[in-house]
Structure 1
Amino acid sequence: MLRMSKMTDYGIVLMTELARADGETRTTRELAARTHVALPSASKVLKGLLQAGLVVSHRGASGGYGLARPAEAISLAELVSALEGPVSLTECGQHQGKPAGPCELESVCQVRGHWRLINQAIQEALGKLTLADLRAPAPRMPERLVGLGLPTSVSAPPPSATGVRS
């Protein structure tokens, strides 16, 4: 199974909540309460997002976090890369243009060059999705992704499948 880390999932959830805030700041405690992400996890993720320049921090009585740019200008590719590092499904795909790490199949691998194309396709798909797309109330496939052969409507998982984040 391919899966991003829990912290990246939390980062997307927190950033989507900030996108819904329409320019208002939210404290870490407010974001944690609204998203059900545990406070220590929310704090850790927000610090990483601050270092990546995706959120800004405001001090004072009305302080908190806000998006560094409009939701339409922050792609999921940028967000995932900030929290996960470069998008790559395999170890050898992470080393574009450089020798791969220790892989015993490297000298005979017939697929290595194709991973670059696969990783690029994933990067491009994530680059076409923005936080503005995620804050939309109904999960619909954005028109610009329809040409990728994906279904035009995406149904949300049943409530029992999502659970409460901790």
Structure 2
Amino acid sequence: MRLSNLADYAVVTMSHAARHCGGGRVSAAELAAETGLPVPTVQKVVSKLTAAGLLRSVRGAGGGLQLARPAAAINVADIVEAVEGPIALTACIDGTDCAVDHNCTVKPHWPLINNAMRGALAGIPLTQLAAEKELA
């Protein structure tokens, strides 16, 4: 499984936004500068994260972006789903036609597999991603 570029950028953007917790608000332009991502890309990601309730946008003087809830209450699964929708490793789960659907013995097990994948991503809190790590 490989995340889309937009989901990857959302995780990167949220980890940088979390580093501003307690330090006020941050703009999309500041997040773009910190992450090295283009401003329009960060704006698109921020829009999706705001719509999903992970970021909050405050207008006016002193405005900007801030986490909508504590970083410890946000995880990688939340961020990925904000951009890509529910985590599903196969298309057959959402009713898409499949060439072997008529005799597939694995299809009933995909929800278990998808839940395990979501659980693994949900086990990684944003606080862990926001922590500065020393590069070896």
The range that moved more, 9-18 or 110-119, is 110-119
The range that moved more, 56-65 or 37-46, is 56-65
Is 2:114 the counterpart of 1:119? yes
Cα offset, 1:61, TM superposition: 2.6
Deviations along 1:50-71, one digit per CA (max 9) or x if unpaired, are 1111100011232110000010
1: distance between equivalents of 2:133 and 2:31? Answer: 21
Deviations along 1:128-158, one digit per CA (max 9) or x if unpaired, are 111001112238xxxxxxxxxxxxxxxx7x9
Secondary structure at 1:65 match in 2: strand
Secondary structure at 1:107 match in 2: helix
2: distance between equivalents of 1:12 and 1:38? Answer: 15
Q: TM-score, normalised by structure 1?
A: 0.76
Secondary structure at 1:110 match in 2: coil
2: distance between equivalents of 1:137 and 1:17? Answer: 10
Secondary structure at 2:56 match in 1: strand
Unaligned runs of 5+ in 1: 140-155, 159-166
1: distance between equivalents of 2:49 and 2:131? Answer: 22
Q: Superposed, which structure 2 residues align to 1:72-151 within 5 Å?
A: 72-93=72-93, 95=94, 100-138=95-133
The range that moved more, 67-76 or 128-137, is 128-137
Which structure carries more relative contact order (alpha carbon 8 Å, separation 6+)? 2
Q: Superposed, which structure 2 residues align to 1:26-105 within 5 Å?
A: 26-93=26-93, 95=94, 100-105=95-100
The letter of the residue matching 1:60 is G
1: distance between equivalents of 2:84 and 2:56? Answer: 20
The letter of the residue matching 1:102 is D
2: distance between equivalents of 1:84 and 1:123? Answer: 13
2: distance between equivalents of 1:50 and 1:136? Answer: 22
User: What root-mean-square deviation, in Å, do the aligned CA atoms of Structure 1 and Structure 2 show?
Assistant: 1.6
1: distance between equivalents of 2:59 and 2:127? Answer: 26
Deviations along 1:1-49, one digit per CA (max 9) or x if unpaired, are x211111111111110011112321111101001111000000110111
Q: TM-score, normalised by structure 2?
A: 0.92
1: distance between equivalents of 2:13 and 2:48? Answer: 12
Runs (4 or more) in structure 1 with deviation over 3 Å come to none
Count of equivalent residues = 135
Tell me which residue corresponds to 2:9.
10
1: distance between equivalents of 2:89 and 2:67? Answer: 28
Unaligned runs of 5+ in 2: none
2: distance between equivalents of 1:22 and 1:78? Answer: 18
